Amino acid sequence: MKIDIIPAIDIIDGKCVRLSQGDYDQKKVYNEDPLEVALQFQDAGIKRLHCVDLDGAKAKHIVNYKVLEKIATKTNLTIDFGGGLKSDDDLRIAFECGAAMVTGGSIAVKDPETFLSWISKFGGERIILGADAKNGKIAVSGWQETTSQDLIPFIGEFKEKGISKVICTDISRDGMLQGPATDLYKSILAEYPDLYLIASGGVSSIDDIQRLCEAGVPAVIFGKAIYEGYIKLADLSAFC
C-alpha cells in the first residue's frame, strides 16, 4: 500500500506561513520565498504540492497567483491550488498560472451551482472538494463557521456529481501536531472505498503517515510537521 505525500505551502503576503486551526492571529512565517521551499520538496523526490492562498481565502478571490506561477514554472511539482476561489475568472487565473487542480470548499456549500458547473467544465479529476469538518459537521469560511451539514453525506452528494478527489481536514487538529483523524478517514473510506481521499490536519510524525497508509488512506497533506522539524524530508523518501 502506498500513500501520496503532499506537503502544503500556505501563503500570506507572498510568504510561506502556517496557521493553527485556521486562526490568522496565530500566524508563523517559515520562509520569505515559497519557491525555495517548493524546490526543497522537489529535491526530496516529492511530486505533489498543496498550495493555499490564505490572502485569497480572506479576500474571497485569488490573490497570490504570481507565487503559484513562479512555483509552477520553476518546478516540476503537480500543484493543487485553493483559497478564495469563487468565480470562473479565479479558476481561469489559477489554471493559467500553472495549477493542475483546484480545491473548492466554502463555495461547494454556499454556491453549489457554481461548484457543480466547474465539475462539468473541467472534470472531477481537476476539481477537488474541500470538506473541512468540526465534530462531524462541515465548516466553511476559513473555518469560522460550522454548518449543520453532516460530513459523510456531504461528500456523497458531490461524489454522485462526479467528484473523485476530496481533501478532508479535521480542523480541531489542524496545525496542532496531535495526530490525524484516522478513524474519521476510515469511516469515510468505508462508505466510499474508491474515493481519492486526502487526509489533512494533525500529522506530527512519520508514524502518523504510516498509520494513515495502513488505514488505506490514498494521500496525505501536511506542513507544520516539516517546518517545525518533526518530519525530515529525507525520512519521506520511503513514501516517495
* CA–CA gap between residue 14 and residue 26 (Å, rounded): 17
Lookup result for grid cell 517545525: 228
Q: Which of 4, 10, 90, 174 is catalytic?
A: 10
* CA–CA gap between residue 240 and residue 87 (Å, rounded): 34
Is 10 one of the catalytic residues? yes
Is 132 one of the catalytic residues? yes
Burial 62-92 (b: 16+ CB within 10 A, else e): bbbbebbbbbbeebebbbbbbbbbbeeebbe
* CA–CA gap between residue 39 and residue 232 (Å, rounded): 15
* CA–CA gap between residue 99 and residue 69 (Å, rounded): 8
Q: Amino acid identity, residue 68?
A: L
Asked if 15 and 31 touch (Cβ cutoff 8 Å), the reply is yes
Q: Which of 132, 170, 174, 208 is catalytic?
A: 132
Catalytic residues: 10, 132
